[in-house]
Structure 1
Amino acid sequence: MKYITVVISKVDDENCSKGEDATDSVVEGEAIHYITLLDDGTGVALYQLRGDLEESAKALEEDPEVLSIERSEAADGLVYLHFQADALMTELLGLFRRHEVVVDWPMEYTAQGALRITWIGDDEKIREVIREIPEGVQINLEGIGEYHSDMRQLASLLTERQRELLKLAIDLGYYDVPRQVGLREIADEIDLSVATVGEHLQKIEARILSQAVL
């Protein structure tokens, strides 16, 4: 059983019908915990917001494509959406169903607003999905291989931004022996102070190591 992780970083509006995107610059997504299409062509989703939650929720409530929204009282930023599915959403979700691949929830938004999706299936079905991705959807391959159920265990301990910072530190050689870069080089890459980067990495290391020794 294989998995593939891709990042949808760009959609060409000329080739893909997306509907109106007036809320895109206002609403900041953290993750999509679940999304599916209903028989009437609409969709429902469990959506995690980040940033200014009040502003994002207001923008969604005013979006004509959003039929209803219900905010969770137990978890900040978690909303249930009933929406009018656009052509692109219908096509992508139809692909997963048609080729019998399973989405490894949640789908996650990167700090740049791209959407990271992992799906699971056999080799041929995964290839069929890739071949049928709509023209105009730009995807970047992030990972592929044999799927293990505990793959998300450590990653789930970190926020999206923490994972991106950790990946950057690894890519730059911060954890190489000998170390290739210091905190200053990492800070320069993401426009943060050295102290802030150091604090974030200490928190990341503490979370991961505390689980690794249990």
Structure 2
Amino acid sequence: MRKWAFFLCCFFGITVSIIIASNFSLNKHRHYVKKSTIEWLDNPRPINTFTLMSDLGTFNNHSLHKHWTIVLFGYSKCADICPTSLFQMSLLAQQLSEQEVAHPINFVFVSVDHERVSIKNLGYFVKYFNPNFVGVSGSKRQLTALTDSLGIQFNVSKTGQNYTVAHSILLSIIGPKGELRGRFSPGFSAANIADELLQKMAISAVL
């Protein structure tokens, strides 16, 4: 019964968020086109040793090698920002899937709220947006090992009945050598980000 309640709550929340995101995107483009850009690092940044878990098993530094990875942090019970960002990420994944690339591109959602969702249900949550998305999480110590390398901040506080989760809203780009290469913010144009990312990937492939 609790499992069905979880799915129903997630389905309702995600559906409402996608409708809001779609309407926002349509209204935005009626008035102006926002130029999306990626903040590329001059020098790739190494990532600390970390180990998290996904519904597929262990997720660690080795999971980031031999392909590009786009990482978004959030939590499954988020009512608006996280589902909206995941919806935008799914549009980006669709754009990139239509192109030929030298290295495959993986999309990972990292939940900073590991106490309120199981790894299995987190996997169901992210795959609602795209069946190839991977959901991972871990303890605060395990998460911090990764967030420190990516410049991401998060905080989970519990006071009585109040439960508050705060986190940076950025998408991190990790190259096939497992190093941080760049980042960008939600509210982006999937077509613009895809073009810029493919250009960087093409340049990196011949270096």
TM class by shorter chain equals under 0.3
Write 1 or 2 for the structure with the bigger share of helix.
2
Which structure has the greater CA radius of gyration? Answer: 1
Report 1 or 2 for greater relative contact order, CA contacts < 8 Å, sequence distance ≥ 6: 2
Tell me the TM-score normalized by structure 1: 0.27
Tell me the TM-score normalized by structure 2: 0.27
